[in-house]
Amino acid sequence: MKNNKGFSLVELIVVIAIMAILATVAVIGVSVYIPRAQKAADAELVNDIIYAVTLRDYETQFASNGNGVVGYVVITNDKNNAISVSNDNDEIHQALVATFGENYEEELRLAYDGWTDADKLLDVALTVKEQGNLDAINNSTFLTQSSTEELLGAVQDCTSLFGKLFENEGKGNEELLEAISYIYMPELKDMITDAEYSGDNLNSAVVSNAVVLAVAQKVSNDNVRADIIDGFTYATTVRTHLVLPETYENGNKVPNSQLDEIATKYAATKALVEYLNKPKYTDIFNQMFNDVDQLPAEASAASVVINNINTGVDLILAELVTDGQLNPDTQEPIEGTRLYDYYYGDGQGETPAYIDGQAYVGMLSAVNEMGDDYLEDKVAMNNSQLFIDSGVTNRVNSFVSLAMLSDSDLEFLNNKVGAAESAVVLLFTVQNGTLSCIPCPAEIMGE
């Protein structure tokens, strides 16, 4: 008689345990792979849509004239009506029909359920638009004379300026933060402490970026916004408008508000130089900035920064006198010159200086609306070029493009994106006859 011997209980338990481990590993592997595959599929879909619209423009040249937003596509992961196209441009609709077929509205949708940055961008854009600054960003000297990066550069330069102001010579970072908070901006310490920066997580880059976020936070106050715009536009003379005071009524050279004033005067001078649009003014301004180097983290350092800025301003003013744009006796712009146009305009609307002030405030407002995101991202806060890196630049490009949309389009996008679990907005813009697409969120193009 044969002895039919089966598995023992211990052997069965071991086999089951091994199978459980293998199953767990497989589930973890799949759970990581699926989102990656979904993101890749969405990136491919976005690229296909961009290609379709670009091809349509090549065939019909529908975007050959003018500047601005020519239309948009918003895609969600909804089961029904997942994709919508701007109603005022049938060319984009026809482009999608040609590539994806008549039923594209029923068939195209996102695979990944985590595209949420478009929602944040629209919230920020609507907040900034309510303050009346999005249009100013789009029409500012920074953009009309140069690029979005120049507007961000006005913010980034302030960060670098503060970084040099806060150079650490022998002090620990905790002491540095304590000194800066006490001397310049009391709320800065609470901001960094709340974000849990300490020890190795705290350095001059973090502090410098936090200063910009703290300055931006103040812009949420109506009076502060008005004061900053006045800082771009109001002046008894051009010199008193641009230079920084070296003494104050209370005898303290470094009051708590001085960082705000340094940032505003610096950005106002940069805007003027951009508007003048001559290399010699740009060279003086750049030298003014580069001369502020290796400064100690103490109150006297602010005076060094002020002296450098004021010296640069006086050199620019001297060149303006030589160019016949500035009256050397009254320090007032001479009528009919570019300098006069900047501060006084044509009398028919807002002056370029006023628009630049609004644009700078709008930029700071946008930074403030995203401030919590930056503070929570320790990699970003350690980036000394945070405000001109590609991620932030793409966000600002999105604001500028959103500024070109009508209120009804913005409201539609806000409702569509806000109701969706996951959404991507593609803004098709044209500048000087060249069509391009700005995706929100920009990260989708990197997948």
Highest mean pLDDT pick, 106-115, 386-395, 432-441: 106-115
Q: What percent of the chain has pLDDT over 90?
A: 12
Per-residue confidence (pLDDT) for residue 334, from 0 to 100: 92
More confident residue, 111 or 216: 111
Per-residue confidence (pLDDT) for residue 70, from 0 to 100: 84
Which of 51-60, 157-166, 364-373 comes out lowest in average pLDDT? 157-166
- pLDDT surpasses 80 at 196: no
Residue 441 preceded by cis peptide, ω within 30 = yes
- pLDDT surpasses 50 at 216: yes
378 exposure class (CB count in 10 Å sphere: 0-12, 13-18, 19+)? middle
The mean pLDDT of the chain is 76
Q: How confident is the model at residue 180 (pLDDT cuts 50, 70, 90)?
A: low
More confident residue, 316 or 174: 316
> Tens digit of pLDDT for each residue in 95-118?
999 999 998 988 899 999 888 877
- pLDDT surpasses 70 at 177: no
Per-residue confidence (pLDDT) for residue 289, from 0 to 100: 65
Question: Which amino acid appears at position 18 of this protein?
Answer: I
More confident residue, 446 or 267: 267
Cα–Cα distances in angstroms (integers) from residue 103 to residues 93, 95, 99, 106, 362, in the given order: 11, 13, 11, 6, 41
More confident residue, 374 or 48: 48
Per-residue confidence (pLDDT) for residue 323, from 0 to 100: 93
Q: How confident is the model at residue 348 (pLDDT cuts 50, 70, 90)?
A: confident
Q: Other C-beta atoms within 10 Å of 84: how many?
A: 16
Highest mean pLDDT pick, 78-87, 142-151, 184-193, 319-328: 319-328
Q: What does the domain layout of the chain look like in residue ranges?
A: 34-116+422-446, 123-391
* Its pTM surpasses 0.75: no
Structure tokens at 42: 């969405």
Q: What percent of the chain has pLDDT over 70?
A: 70
The mean per-residue pLDDT over the stretch 35-49 comes to 90
Q: Containing H/E element for 261?
A: helix 258-276
Going by the DSSP 8-state scheme, the letter that residue 443 receives in this structure is: G
Helices (H), 63-103: 90-100
The mean per-residue pLDDT over the stretch 303-324 comes to 83
Which of 2-16, 228-242, 296-310, 322-336 comes out lowest in average pLDDT? 296-310
> Measured between alpha carbons, how far is 124 from 366 in angstroms, rounded to an integer?
6
The mean per-residue pLDDT over the stretch 415-439 comes to 84
Q: How confident is the model at residue 320 (pLDDT cuts 50, 70, 90)?
A: very high
Whether residue 108 contacts residue 339, with contact meaning beta carbons closer than 8 Å, is answered with no
Quote the distance between the C-alpha of residue 111 and its chain's center.
28
> Measured between alpha carbons, how far is 140 from 396 in angstroms, rounded to an integer?
13
Radius of gyration over every alpha carbon of the chain, rounded to an integer in angstroms: 27
Report the interhelical angle of 299-322 vs 148-165 (nearest 10°): 140
> Measured between alpha carbons, how far is 423 from 73 in angstroms, rounded to an integer?
10
- pLDDT surpasses 80 at 185: no
Q: How confident is the model at residue 365 (pLDDT cuts 50, 70, 90)?
A: confident
> Measured between alpha carbons, how far is 398 from 141 in angstroms, rounded to an integer?
18
Q: How confident is the model at residue 149 (pLDDT cuts 50, 70, 90)?
A: low
335 backbone dihedrals φ, ψ, rounded to 5°: -60, 140
Structure tokens at 233: 């536009």
Tokens 């050199």 appear where?
Answer: 315
Cα–Cα distances in angstroms (integers) from residue 286 to residues 143, 164, 323, in the given order: 19, 15, 20
Which of 119-133, 141-155, 329-343, 397-411 comes out lowest in average pLDDT? 141-155
Question: Which amino acid appears at position 332 of this protein?
Answer: E
Q: Other C-beta atoms within 10 Å of 238: how many?
A: 23
Q: How confident is the model at residue 319 (pLDDT cuts 50, 70, 90)?
A: very high
Question: Which amino acid appears at position 177 of this protein?
Answer: L
> Measured between alpha carbons, how far is 407 from 422 in angstroms, rounded to an integer?
23
The mean per-residue pLDDT over the stretch 317-336 comes to 91
Whether residue 4 contacts residue 406, with contact meaning beta carbons closer than 8 Å, is answered with no
Nearest to 219 by CA among 358, 343, 312, 112: 358
Q: Where does residue 324 fall: left (phi above 0), alpha (psi -120 to 50 degrees), or beta otherwise?
A: left
Which of 175-179, 309-313, 336-340 comes out lowest in average pLDDT? 175-179
SS3 content of the chain, % helix, strand, coil (to 5): 65, 5, 30
